[in-house]
Amino acid sequence: MDGVTSDNPPGTMDPAALRPLLPSPLVEAADERFTRRGLRLLLKRDDLIHPDLPGNKWRKLEPNLRAAAAAGADTLLTFGGAYSNHLRATAAAGRLLGFDTIGIVRGEELADRPLNPSLASCAADGMELRFVSRALYRRKTEPEVVTTLVPEGAFVIPEGGSNAAAAQGCTLLGRELRGIADVVGVACGTGGTLAGLTAGLTEGQRVIGFPVLKGGFLGEEILRLQQEAFGERRGDWTLDDRFHGGGYAKTSPELESFAADFETRHDLPLERLYVAKMLYGLTTLALDGAFAPGSTVVAVITGGAGAGGALAGA
Ligand SMILES: *Cc1c(COP(=O)(O)O)cnc(C)c1O
- Domain assignments of the chain as residue spans, ordered by start: 23-52+162-311, 74-153
Q: Answer yes or no: is pLDDT of 3 > 70.
A: no
From 47, 170, 213, 274, give the residue whose CB has the most ligand 1 atoms within 8 Å, as the site to mutate. 274
Is 128 in a helix, a strand, or coil?
Answer: strand
Residues 6+ apart with CB under 8 A from 54: 46, 47, 48, 89, 303, 304, 306
What pLDDT score does 216 carry? 76
pLDDT confidence bin for 307, thresholds 50/70/90: very low
3 Cα–ligand 1 center, Å? 32
307 Cα–ligand 1 center, Å? 15
Helix 218-230 and helix 164-176, axial crossing angle in degrees, nearest 10? 90
**How many C-beta atoms surround the C-beta of residue 113 within 10 A?**
11
Per DSSP, the chain holds a count of helices (H) and strands (E) of 11, 10
Return d(Cα 155, Cα 247) in angstroms, integer. Answer: 31
Is 239 in a helix, a strand, or coil?
Answer: strand
Residues with CB under 6 A from ligand 1: 55-57, 85-86, 160, 162, 187-193, 271, 274-275, 302-303
Q: Answer yes or no: is pLDDT of 311 > 70.
A: no
pLDDT (average), residues 114-122: 95
pLDDT (average), residues 9-29: 86
From 24, 44, 56, give the residue whose CB has the most ligand 1 atoms within 8 Å, as the site to mutate. 56
Q: What is the pLDDT of residues 242-300, one digit of tens each?
A: 999 999 889 999 999 999 999 999 999 999 999 999 999 999 999 999 999 999 999 99
- pTM, two decimals, is 0.92
Give how far Cα 131 sits from Cα of 82, 104, 150, Å. Answer: 10, 6, 13
7 Cα–ligand 1 center, Å? 31
Instruction: Tell me if residue 84 is catalytic.
Output: yes
Residues 6+ apart with CB under 8 A from 182: 204, 205, 206, 291, 292, 295, 296, 297
- Say which CATH class 23-52+162-311 falls into: alpha beta
Domains 23-52+162-311 and 74-153 share a fold: yes
pLDDT (average), residues 5-30: 80
Q: Answer yes or no: is pLDDT of 10 > 50.
A: no
Among 146-150, 176-180, 273-277, which stretch is predicted with the lowest mean pLDDT? Answer: 146-150
- Say which CATH class 74-153 falls into: alpha beta
Residue 293: burial class (beta carbons within 10 Å; 0-12, 13-18, 19+): exposed
Is 195 in a helix, a strand, or coil?
Answer: helix
What pLDDT score does 99 carry? 96
